[in-house]
Structure 1
Protein backbone atom coordinates (compact mmCIF):
# COMPACT_ATOMS: atom_id res chain seq x y z
CA UNK A 1 0.00 0.00 0.00
CA UNK A 2 1.24 3.50 -0.76
CA UNK A 3 1.86 6.10 1.91
CA UNK A 4 -0.83 8.76 2.31
CA UNK A 5 -0.31 12.44 3.01
CA UNK A 6 -2.72 15.21 3.91
CA UNK A 7 -2.78 18.29 1.67
CA UNK A 8 -4.54 21.60 2.06
CA UNK A 9 -6.12 23.83 -0.56
CA UNK A 10 -6.13 27.62 -0.25
CA UNK A 11 -6.91 30.71 -2.29
CA UNK A 12 -4.09 32.26 -4.29
CA UNK A 13 -5.43 35.27 -6.16
CA UNK A 14 -8.45 34.06 -8.14
CA UNK A 15 -7.20 30.46 -8.16
CA UNK A 16 -7.30 27.62 -5.68
CA UNK A 17 -3.84 26.24 -4.88
CA UNK A 18 -2.97 22.88 -3.36
CA UNK A 19 -0.04 22.70 -0.96
CA UNK A 20 1.76 19.37 -1.40
CA UNK A 21 3.72 17.91 1.54
CA UNK A 22 7.51 17.73 1.27
CA UNK A 23 7.31 13.98 1.89
CA UNK A 24 5.93 13.50 -1.61
CA UNK A 25 9.29 14.58 -3.04
CA UNK A 26 7.77 16.83 -5.70
CA UNK A 27 10.31 19.22 -7.27
CA UNK A 28 9.24 22.88 -7.33
CA UNK A 29 8.75 24.56 -10.68
CA UNK A 30 7.26 21.59 -12.53
CA UNK A 31 4.31 21.98 -14.88
CA UNK A 32 1.37 19.62 -14.40
CA UNK A 33 -1.71 18.41 -16.20
CA UNK A 34 -4.73 17.97 -13.93
CA UNK A 35 -7.95 16.16 -14.75
CA UNK A 36 -10.94 14.59 -13.07
CA UNK A 37 -11.27 10.82 -13.53
CA UNK A 38 -14.57 9.94 -11.95
CA UNK A 39 -14.31 11.21 -8.37
CA UNK A 40 -10.49 11.30 -8.47
CA UNK A 41 -8.39 14.35 -9.23
CA UNK A 42 -5.32 13.10 -11.16
CA UNK A 43 -2.05 15.06 -11.42
CA UNK A 44 0.60 14.18 -14.01
CA UNK A 45 3.94 15.96 -14.34
CA UNK A 46 4.66 17.27 -17.83
CA UNK A 47 8.00 16.52 -19.46
CA UNK A 48 10.43 19.38 -19.13
CA UNK A 49 11.30 20.93 -22.49
CA UNK A 50 14.88 20.41 -23.59
CA UNK A 51 16.99 23.52 -23.31
CA UNK A 52 18.04 24.94 -26.64
CA UNK A 53 21.28 26.75 -27.33
CA UNK A 54 20.76 30.22 -28.80
CA UNK A 55 23.77 31.09 -30.97
CA UNK A 56 22.54 34.69 -31.30
CA UNK A 57 23.45 35.30 -27.66
CA UNK A 58 27.14 34.48 -28.22
CA UNK A 59 27.67 35.19 -31.93
CA UNK A 60 30.43 37.78 -32.39
CA UNK A 61 31.39 37.83 -28.72
CA UNK A 62 35.06 37.28 -29.63
CA UNK A 63 35.20 40.02 -32.28
CA UNK A 64 37.95 42.49 -31.52
CA UNK A 65 39.90 40.07 -29.31
CA UNK A 66 42.42 39.30 -32.04
CA UNK A 67 41.64 35.59 -32.07
CA UNK A 68 42.98 33.58 -35.00
CA UNK A 69 42.46 30.05 -36.27
CA UNK A 70 45.15 27.51 -35.42
CA UNK A 71 47.67 26.73 -38.14
CA UNK A 72 48.12 23.06 -39.10
CA UNK A 73 51.77 23.19 -37.95
CA UNK A 74 50.60 24.22 -34.48
CA UNK A 75 48.72 20.93 -34.21
CA UNK A 76 51.81 18.69 -34.59
CA UNK A 77 53.02 17.08 -31.37
CA UNK A 78 56.11 15.06 -30.58
CA UNK A 79 55.18 11.55 -29.44
CA UNK A 80 55.87 11.04 -25.74
CA UNK A 81 57.08 7.81 -24.18
CA UNK A 82 54.48 5.52 -22.67
CA UNK A 83 54.93 2.55 -20.34
CA UNK A 84 53.24 0.24 -22.83
CA UNK A 85 55.68 1.32 -25.58
CA UNK A 86 58.62 -0.24 -23.70
CA UNK A 87 59.50 -3.88 -24.18
CA UNK A 88 60.67 -5.97 -21.18
CA UNK A 89 64.22 -6.33 -22.55
CA UNK A 90 64.69 -2.57 -23.03
CA UNK A 91 65.31 -0.33 -20.00
CA UNK A 92 63.34 2.86 -19.79
Structure 2
Protein backbone atom coordinates (compact mmCIF):
# COMPACT_ATOMS: atom_id res chain seq x y z
CA UNK A 1 0.00 0.00 0.00
CA UNK A 2 1.10 3.64 -0.45
CA UNK A 3 1.96 6.31 2.07
CA UNK A 4 -0.64 7.38 4.58
CA UNK A 5 -1.30 11.05 5.37
CA UNK A 6 -3.53 12.79 7.86
CA UNK A 7 -5.57 15.77 6.64
CA UNK A 8 -7.88 18.23 8.40
CA UNK A 9 -11.36 19.26 7.45
CA UNK A 10 -12.16 22.92 8.05
CA UNK A 11 -15.00 25.34 7.35
CA UNK A 12 -14.68 27.37 4.17
CA UNK A 13 -17.64 29.70 3.61
CA UNK A 14 -20.81 27.59 3.67
CA UNK A 15 -18.86 24.42 2.84
CA UNK A 16 -16.20 22.29 4.42
CA UNK A 17 -12.80 21.83 2.81
CA UNK A 18 -10.05 19.27 3.11
CA UNK A 19 -6.49 20.55 3.39
CA UNK A 20 -4.18 18.05 1.66
CA UNK A 21 -0.50 17.74 2.54
CA UNK A 22 2.07 19.34 0.26
CA UNK A 23 3.89 16.01 0.10
CA UNK A 24 1.22 14.71 -2.29
CA UNK A 25 2.66 16.97 -5.00
CA UNK A 26 -0.59 18.66 -5.93
CA UNK A 27 -0.49 22.15 -7.40
CA UNK A 28 -2.87 25.05 -6.92
CA UNK A 29 -5.71 24.64 -9.42
CA UNK A 30 -5.38 20.86 -9.86
CA UNK A 31 -8.82 19.30 -10.25
CA UNK A 32 -9.69 16.23 -8.23
CA UNK A 33 -12.53 13.75 -8.52
CA UNK A 34 -14.16 12.76 -5.22
CA UNK A 35 -16.48 9.79 -4.89
CA UNK A 36 -18.04 7.95 -2.01
CA UNK A 37 -18.06 4.17 -1.98
CA UNK A 38 -19.59 2.29 0.94
CA UNK A 39 -18.80 4.98 3.51
CA UNK A 40 -15.25 5.66 2.25
CA UNK A 41 -14.11 8.60 0.18
CA UNK A 42 -11.87 8.15 -2.83
CA UNK A 43 -9.98 11.18 -4.12
CA UNK A 44 -8.16 10.95 -7.45
CA UNK A 45 -7.00 13.34 -10.17
CA UNK A 46 -9.80 14.33 -12.54
CA UNK A 47 -9.34 13.20 -16.15
CA UNK A 48 -7.72 15.92 -18.21
CA UNK A 49 -9.82 17.09 -21.14
CA UNK A 50 -8.03 16.95 -24.47
CA UNK A 51 -6.91 20.39 -25.51
CA UNK A 52 -7.14 21.80 -29.00
CA UNK A 53 -3.98 22.94 -30.74
CA UNK A 54 -3.58 26.71 -30.67
CA UNK A 55 -1.96 27.95 -33.88
CA UNK A 56 -2.19 31.66 -33.11
CA UNK A 57 1.50 31.72 -32.14
CA UNK A 58 2.63 30.76 -35.63
CA UNK A 59 0.15 32.91 -37.54
CA UNK A 60 2.06 35.11 -39.96
CA UNK A 61 5.25 33.05 -39.85
CA UNK A 62 4.56 31.89 -43.44
CA UNK A 63 3.72 35.16 -45.23
CA UNK A 64 3.31 33.50 -48.66
CA UNK A 65 0.81 30.96 -47.35
CA UNK A 66 -2.77 31.92 -48.13
CA UNK A 67 -6.11 30.10 -48.06
CA UNK A 68 -7.21 28.34 -51.25
CA UNK A 69 -9.97 29.93 -53.28
CA UNK A 70 -13.03 27.78 -54.03
CA UNK A 71 -11.74 27.36 -57.61
CA UNK A 72 -8.36 26.12 -56.35
CA UNK A 73 -10.08 23.50 -54.19
CA UNK A 74 -11.44 21.67 -57.25
CA UNK A 75 -9.16 18.91 -58.51
CA UNK A 76 -9.13 17.12 -61.84
CA UNK A 77 -10.18 13.50 -61.68
CA UNK A 78 -6.98 11.62 -62.60
CA UNK A 79 -7.19 8.79 -65.13
CA UNK A 80 -7.41 5.32 -63.61
CA UNK A 81 -6.27 2.05 -65.08
CA UNK A 82 -9.70 0.47 -64.76
CA UNK A 83 -11.16 3.25 -66.93
CA UNK A 84 -9.03 1.96 -69.84
CA UNK A 85 -11.15 -0.30 -72.12
CA UNK A 86 -8.02 -2.38 -72.94
CA UNK A 87 -7.38 -3.19 -69.28
CA UNK A 88 -7.83 -6.91 -68.55
CA UNK A 89 -8.61 -6.57 -64.87
CA UNK A 90 -6.78 -7.75 -61.80
CA UNK A 91 -6.34 -11.28 -63.20
CA UNK A 92 -3.80 -10.17 -65.81
CA UNK A 93 -3.58 -11.15 -69.46
CA UNK A 94 -4.60 -14.82 -69.04
CA UNK A 95 -8.35 -14.17 -69.44
Question: Structure 1-normalised TM-score?
Answer: 0.51
Q: What does residue 32 of structure 1 align with? A: 32
Out of 54, 66, 69, the position equivalent to 2:64 is 69
Superposition CA RMSD, Å: 2.6
Q: What does residue 6 of structure 1 align with? A: 6
* Residues 1:2 and 1:54: Cα distance change in structure 2 (over 3 Å): closer
Structure 1 gaps, min length 5: 71-92
Q: Which has the higher contact order (CA 8 A, sep 6+)?
A: 1
Q: What does residue 44 of structure 1 align with? A: 44
* Cα displacement (A) at 1:51: 2.4
Q: What does residue 81 of structure 1 align with? A: none
* 3-state DSSP of counterpart to 2:4: coil
Question: Structure 2-normalised TM-score?
Answer: 0.50
* Cα displacement (A) at 1:9: 0.8
Give the number of equivalent residue pairs.
Answer: 62
The structure 1 segments of at least 4 consecutive aligned residues displaced by more than 3 Å after TM superposition are: none
Give the helix-richer structure, 1 or 2: 1
Q: What does residue 23 of structure 1 align with? A: 23
